[in-house]
Chains A and B, each alone.
Chain A
Amino acid sequence: MLSLTFTLAEPQSFALWEKLLLAALIIVSAGLFWRRFGVVLDRILQSKKDPGFHLGNLARRVWDFVSEVLLQSKVIRQRPLPGLAHAFVFWGFCAFALVTLNHVAAGFGASFLSPSGAFGRFYFYFAAAFALACAIGILGLLIRRFLVRPRWLGAKLSCESGFIAFLIFALMVTYLAAFFTTDAAPATRILWWAHTLCLLVFLPIIPHTKHLHLVLSPATVFLSRGGFSDIPPLAGDEDFGLVAGQDLTRIVSLQAYSCVECGRCSEHCPATNTGKILNPKEIILGVRAYLNDIGPRTDEPLLGKYNSQEAVFQCTTCGSCEFQCPVGIEHLPIMIGLRRGAVNTGAWEDDYGAKLFNQLERGSNALGISAAERDKFIQREQLPIFDGTQEYCLWLGCMGGYDPKGREIVAAFARVMKHLGASFGVLRKEKCTGDPVRRLGNDLVFQQLAEANLEILAQSKVKRIVTICPHCVRTIQEDWKAYGTPPPIEHHSEFLARYAEQLPKRVQDKEKIVFHDPCYLGRYRNVYDEPRAVAATAGEVVDPPRARERSFCCGAGGGLTFLGEETGERVSHVRAQELIATGASTIGTACPFCNSMFRDALGASNQPAPQLLDIAQLVARSLPATDSGEPGKK
């Protein structure tokens, strides 16, 4: 007969044989757990130490831990409904900690929480609330995985996930059911043993499945590298990147084992979304499979059995993967590490790549154009030359110096700077910042470019830099640090936003402008509002469906714009369609590469295309006529 007392029922005593059985089961379960987990731990610890890694900035680490692990912020924000469901499962686990301990202790007659005590009673109800939420959550996730079947979870149905879901559900149900029985009833004892068996079966399964993240991911989040796309330095003469198992570091191995296979990285990957073979989840799982099968401390190449060179070189380094990962995996340093391993050893044979590298070794820019062309542009636009006295050095970059559309953006920005009375000049000589070769993993050419440029900047006495290209900003500010001290640099959207009040406002013909967040400005630099503030002076700014940190790459990054044809759908075309579909009359960009990619994509379709303008051009349009009487040029 059910008794409705609503307190947790527990068997009050266990026979000796039960205690012995319990002890034996615990030992076996723990033993099986350790048998696998020990191996994983060993693989991680046998990996080489991370050069340049230090535990500093504890405040950030603690904050990330609290926010991402305890509060499940990223889990919820980036996939709200499933994320919330998972959050409740996780919080349920946390809330259950004491309950579980008490439960096992009870088996040995040493329970410390009593349903009659005030705290015990409260706590059991507290845990019950979470158990309910957890049960509903896990049921929801089960339905999602097996009925809805989103493709990011993979094509194959995972029995393992199903079984674990069942165990968790069973744990919650056996707990909640015990509220409806009495201590003495035989049902209670059955429930107790069922619950215990669920626990003891779950434990050894953890290290054999993706549920390893239960144990590892808090550490993974805490032990992340310093920043976003934090590329480690090469350590010594024999380090060429991630060539073989012996190059895998502890952080990489820890991250590979933490992968929870959620597919959030793949869901937002431009390559995966356009039919390329690259899938960031598969890259990480490939590293994990390599570690399981072959292990660290070997010279067996990483790119071979489990991951292909072709996939690795399809990455635009947009960073969606790393940004989305809820367990702290940093995909970019791994991807670039694998590329380094292929390029620094000459294993990557690609005609376009070789041409790019040779061009940058002998010449000054990634396009292979004579530097005299940049000089001609500077003369024609009458750009002031930096002579050490001006406040800003306007860095042109390869696109700003040589690409016809990039030059238009520079010209527009220069006009705005003049209008604002900013003092600036352009350098007589610039070399490519090295962004494409850095992302492709060529440390030889990158070092040459960084050092040559740092020398030019020092000699020219540059104090501050502003530029139209987010790739230049990132490379100069972060990647050059390995070779010197670059002067502070900002993107022109940050500069213009500071002067937003003084920018001319467009009063008539205000249009609808859809703003595309560049990867290297948004995810890499966290700059989302400034370009919008600038664009807002020219019209109504709207966001496309995938905006801000979820902005969908234009396809040019990672050096890919220099590598010739891509397979599958063109990333730029997919994104252009998304932008056009907003119905905006203008596409606003803040990166000359995005601008170049969309110009091609818009040109390829035969429909009437929206205007394509950089934020500098949006502002420059509204400038008063120049002294010569020319209206503001586009």
Chain B
Amino acid sequence: MSGIFVVLEERDGRVSRASWEALAAGQHLAAQTNEPVSAVVLGANADDAASESATKAVAKVIRIGHPLLARYTPDGYIAALHQLIHSERPAQVVFPHTYQVRDFAPALAARLGQVLISDVVAIGDGPVFTRQLMQGRLTGNYRHQGNGPCLISVQAGAFRADAVQTGTAEIVTFEPQIDPASIRTRPGEPFRGSAQTVDLGSAPLIVAVGRGIKEADNLSLVQDLASTLGAELAASRPICDNGWLPMERQVGSSGQTVAPKLYIAVGISGAIQHLVGMKGSQCIVAINKDPEAPIFEVADYGIVGDLFEVVPALTEALKGA
């Protein structure tokens, strides 16, 4: 058993950033164990993904081809990867920790009689795999035991996609045998939440505006920021009470509770009624001219300044990013 396989995901023909991060993790592991790293691609646009992967410093790119893999299903992917791993016998298999991987990798590991060590944030000597416990309040160090491949998935952002070394690699094809009857689930086309209703609850990025905006006419400033960022617009209660934004955009104890990846609070003081609606956000940025505003207590990043200056500056900076 030897070699490190990194399974890459593609979106519309381009390998995702999380996958490059997984490849970086694979290369990091290879430095420890001195094993060759191979990229594995499968799915609808496997050809494009394979070509892109072939420009990286990997031993080879394995392109898994089968018509039944054009649409992701756990049954299809597990069957294909199981056959590949069984045939090629790598020592390590690395995945990016995406929703898709979470859907099939644990079952794949079980079929191999193994356990997936998921959501790894660091790889130490050993190798020792570090992951977070108790919602980030503890870290745990895991070690793999026994014979058989070690499967891990790495957390987005744990490794840097730009750390992947470039090179050239040959592309080989692997054709698994998949019985159509074994595909038991029928996936539909992905769709966005309904266009009519505002679903702040599932928005990954939110820009929220509060009383600091002073007048309805000034909202366009914040709307520009939101659209540049690709974020949903939300508001604290007084804004909705005044009718400047519809009630469904209200975040707070009498509105919606949200937990997006990024919450930018513009001109919001941070009264408890608002805080309880957004305190679960992963990253909170506060822009307020009052340095004592309670919102700064829950913010990860704060800018103490006049929002009428800061917001346009931020919009500009984002456009250039």
Contacts and interface: CB of A to CB of B under 8 A. Distances in A.
A562 B271 contact: no
Interface stretch (A22-30, A453-461, A546-554, A596-604): A596-604
B253 A404 contact: no
A604 B271 contact: no
Contact of A564 (B253, B270, B297): B253
Contacts of B279: 369
Contacts of B238: 603-604
B256 to A, nearest CB: 11
Interface in A554-600: 562, 564-565, 596, 599-600
B253 A604 contact: no
Interface in B201-247: 211, 237-238, 241
B30 interface: no
A369 B274 CA distance: 12
Interface string A339-360: 0000000000000100000000
B291 to A, nearest CB: 14
A413 interface: no
B55 interface: no
Nearest to A376: B297
Nearest to A404: B294
B276 interface: yes
A167 interface: no
Contacts of B276: 367-369
Given A404-B294, A564-B253, A596 B272 contact: yes
B282 interface: no
B2 interface: no
Contacts of B271: 404-405, 596, 599-600
A403 B276 CA distance: 10
A596 B237 CA distance: 14
A495 B302 CA distance: 39
A4 B276 CA distance: 82
A403 B272 contact: yes
Contacts of A369: 275-276, 279
A596 B279 CA distance: 19
A201 B279 CA distance: 69
Interface string A590-634: 000000100110011000000000000000000000000000000
B137 to A, nearest CB: 9
B139 interface: no
Nearest to B135: A370
Contacts of B253: 352, 562, 564
A404 B272 contact: yes
B34 interface: no
A519 to B, nearest CB: 20
Given A404-B294, A562-B253, A603 B272 contact: no
Given A603-B211, A604-B238, A565 B270 contact: no
B152 to A, nearest CB: 30
A369 B211 CA distance: 24
Nearest to B272: A403
Contacts of A565: 254
B141 interface: no
Contacts of A367: 272, 276
B32 interface: no
Contacts of A368: 276
Contacts of A290: none
A406 B122 CA distance: 41
Contacts of B241: 604
A397 to B, nearest CB: 13
A406 B271 CA distance: 11
A564 B270 CA distance: 17
Nearest to B298: A373
A402 interface: yes
Nearest to B250: A565
Interface in A369-421: 369, 402-406
B273 interface: yes
Contacts of B254: 352, 564-565
Which of B237, B238, B253, B254 gathers most chain A CB within 10 Å? B253
A367 B274 CA distance: 11
Contacts of A596: 271-273
A562 B270 CA distance: 17
Contacts of B273: 596, 600
A368 B297 CA distance: 16
A596 B272 CA distance: 9
B270 A404 contact: yes
A562 B272 CA distance: 11
Contacts of B297: 404
Contacts of A406: 272
Contacts of B272: 367, 402-406, 596
Nearest to A402: B272
Which of B238, B254, B272, B297 gathers most chain A CB within 10 Å? B272
Contacts of A403: 272
A404 B270 CA distance: 8
Nearest to A565: B254
B90 to A, nearest CB: 42
Contacts of A600: 237, 271, 273
Interface string B250-289: 0001100000000000000011110110010000000000
Contacts of B270: 404
Nearest to A407: B294
A10 B207 CA distance: 90
A352 B276 CA distance: 12
Contacts of A402: 272
Nearest to A372: B137
Contacts of B211: 603
Contacts of B275: 369
Contacts of A564: 253-254
A155 B121 CA distance: 71
Nearest to A398: B272
A622 to B, nearest CB: 21
Nearest to B292: A404
Contacts of A562: 253
A270 to B, nearest CB: 18
A394 to B, nearest CB: 20
A566 to B, nearest CB: 9
A382 B294 CA distance: 18
A369 B253 CA distance: 12
A159 to B, nearest CB: 45
Nearest to B137: A372
**What 5 A-B pairs have minimum CB-CB distances, sorted nearest first?**
A404-B294, A564-B254, A403-B272, A565-B254, A367-B276
11 contacts: A352-B253, A352-B254, A367-B272, A368-B276, A403-B272, A404-B270, A405-B272, A596-B272, A596-B273, A600-B237, A600-B273
Interface of B: 211, 237-238, 241, 253-254, 270-273, 275-276, 279, 294, 297
Given A402-B272, A403-B272, 4 more contacts: A404-B294, A405-B272, A600-B271, A600-B273
